[in-house]
Structure 1
Amino acid sequence: MNKRVGGIIFLKVDGDLMRAKGAFTYNLGKPKREPVIGGDGIAHGYKESGQVAFIEGEITDDRKLDLATLLELEDAIVTLELANGKVISLRDAWYAGDGTGQSEEGNIPVRFEAPAGEEIK
């Protein structure tokens, strides 16, 4: 049994490996449940509100990365392969970051969004 729960990850955009670094966050885009509290102070149930599926983190810039092309990305397949063996997949994804890079460590924050996400175990 693999006991690793964190560490090395792989980010791919349309099958191309990106230079992922640091911590990534993700959301499958399932409805978020929030309590409905009545006037009596008791939870009467819950309501659901929509969320967007996303994968967000940082990549390292390099000479091969075309930032302008990344900013225009849409209808892509984005996958995040986690250290625990799971894969988070977004289909029909678009780039939702602002494209700001940083020179000290050559990092670019990235965010990809999609109508829905999938967890592959």
Structure 2
Amino acid sequence: MGKKVAGTVYIKVDGTQVTVTGGVEVPLSDRKRETVAPGYFKEEDLPGYVVATVVADPDLPIAQLMAATDATVTAELGNGWVYVLSGAYIVEEPAAKGDDGTIDFRWEGTKGVWQ
């Protein structure tokens, strides 16, 4: 029997669903480890994040998305995994691409949790 590992992805920002094209990226861990010497390592905390390419729908609440500093972003992947990012805000400089009607967003936040 085959197992679904990819497919339609759903993104909600504060309960508002946005239409996504292509992939969504979310981290598997909230820390980065680096070996200092064999058997010894250091850890660095990493911010939770969600990266998505969103359709530039005329009804997309751009002002609301850009102004949010404490949003909840929920990403439901095609394989059924769900990642919830709280305390989220948009980072970098998203720009609307007129040739394909999309916007690349990157949200970072205070806590990302797999459910």
TM-score, normalization: structure 1?
0.87
Shift of 1:33: 0.7
Q: Which stretch shifts more, 23-32 or 45-54?
A: 23-32
* Mapped contact 1:95–1:112 kept (Cα < 8 A): yes
In 2, the alpha carbon distance for the partners of 1:17 and 1:109 equals 15
Percentage of matched positions with identical amino acids = 31
Aligned to 1:96: 91
SS at match of 2:26: strand
In 2, the alpha carbon distance for the partners of 1:2 and 1:82 equals 17
Aligned alpha-carbon RMSD (Å):
1.7
Aligned to 1:6: 6
Shift of 1:19: 0.8
* Shift in alpha-carbon separation, 1:2–1:97, aligned structure 2, 3 A: farther
* Shift in alpha-carbon separation, 1:97–1:11, aligned structure 2, 3 A: farther
* Shift in alpha-carbon separation, 1:89–1:55, aligned structure 2, 3 A: same
Shift of 1:28: 5.5
Aligned to 2:30: 30
Shift of 1:55: 0.3
Deviations 1:62-113 (A, max 9, x none): 1111323321112111000011111000111111141311001101000111
SS at match of 1:110: strand
Provide runs of 4+ in structure 1 moved above 6 Å. Answer: none
Aligned to 1:62: 57
Structure 1: state its 5+ residue gaps: 38-42
Aligned length: 115
SS at match of 1:85: coil
Aligned to 1:50: 45
In 2, the alpha carbon distance for the partners of 1:10 and 1:109 equals 15
Shift of 1:2: 7.4
* Partner AA of 1:36 in structure 2: V
Q: Bigger radius of gyration, 1 or 2?
A: 1
In 1, the alpha carbon distance for the partners of 2:114 and 2:36 equals 29
